[in-house]
């Protein structure tokens, strides 16, 4: 579906069409357009705006075997974050890709690809006599960061983007250790004799690791946020 928005007063929202899903947020003369799914953006006139782009998070890892122990899978990396200030978007159709499954997010020539600096959670394990006396839980995923290099955004206030997924607990027989949380506002939880949790959509966060015999969580999709105004 295509929506047309007329300009508004000072710091006006630009005329544009978009074929994907998006939201608009306005406050005190500022505006943001959050592009949530892939599509074609068609500004009616050239746009000068700031761009925040986040690649999709990576999926969590599978469990692995070490002798009698089953190590929980590691959490997935968050996607890369990129901020472009005073970016210029030309009038006419512009292809927008919102990353999925670890893929890049891009709008025209502006792109975020790769992984973030948030450390994925490590998988835990269950010990055996002579090897490890205590159950070791999965380690939590590293935190993401606020939009626009820490300035935050109107579209998702307080959200940290590109958090890493949590590590899963290990399993030995009927004994198991516990999976850990992913980074806040997005990272998938590591499995506790279960699948890893998926990263939250439009956060670029990593998925949680899998317990033995289960599946890792998928990474969260990316997002692109345009901002402008007074």
Sign of CA pseudo-dihedral 82, 84, 88, 91: positive
Alpha carbons 34 and 13: distance in angstroms, whole number: 13
Return the pLDDT at 69. 66
Return the pLDDT at 136. 60
Structure tokens at 140: 């939590």
DSSP assignment of 117-177: SPPPPPP-B---TTT-SS-BPPPPPPP-B-HHHHT--SSSTTPPBSPPPPPPPPEETTEE-
The 10s digit of each residue's pLDDT in 185-228 is 788 888 887 888 999 999 999 999 888 888 999 999 999 999 99
Burial zone of 179 (CB within 10 Å; 0-12 exposed, 13-18 middle, 19+ buried): buried
Return the pLDDT at 67. 62
Query: By the 8 A CB rule, do 201 and 223 touch?
Result: no
pLDDT tens per residue across all 230 residues of the chain: 343 433 333 358 899 999 999 999 999 999 999 999 999 999 999 999 999 999 999 999 888 876 666 778 888 999 999 999 999 999 999 999 999 999 999 999 999 999 998 888 888 776 554 444 345 667 778 889 999 999 999 999 999 999 998 888 876 666 667 778 887 778 888 888 788 899 999 999 999 988 888 899 999 999 999 999 87
pTM, whole model, 2 decimals?
A: 0.88
């Amino acid at each position: 579906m295509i929506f047309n928005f007329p300009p508004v007063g000072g710091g006006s929202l630009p005329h544009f069409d978009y074929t994907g899903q998006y939201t608009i947020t306005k406050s005190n003369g500022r505006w943001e357009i959050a592009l949530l799914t892939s599509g074609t953006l068609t500004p009616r006139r050239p746009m000068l705006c700031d761009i925040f782009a986040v690649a999709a998070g990576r999926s969590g890892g599978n469990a692995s075997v070490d002798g009698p122990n089953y190590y929980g899978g590691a959490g997935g990396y968050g996607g890369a974050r990129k901020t472009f200030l005073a970016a210029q978007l030309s009038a006419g159709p512009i292809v927008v890709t919102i990353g999925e499954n670890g893929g890049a997010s891009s709008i025209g020539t502006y792109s975020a690809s790769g992984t973030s600096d948030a450390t994925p959670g490590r998988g835990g394990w269950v010990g055996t006599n002579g090897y490890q006396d205590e159950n070791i839980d999965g380690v939590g995923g590293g935190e993401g960061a606020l939009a626009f290099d820490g300035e935050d955004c109107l579209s998702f206030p307080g959200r940290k983007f590109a958090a890493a997924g949590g590590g899963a607990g290990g399993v030995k027989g009927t004994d198991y250790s516990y999976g850990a949380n992913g980074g806040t506002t997005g990272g998938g939880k590591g499995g506790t004799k279960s699948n890893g949790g998926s990263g939250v959509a439009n956060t670029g966060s990593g998925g949680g690791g899998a317990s033995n015999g289960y599946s890792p969580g998928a990474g969260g999709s990316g997002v692109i946020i345009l901002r402008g105004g007074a």
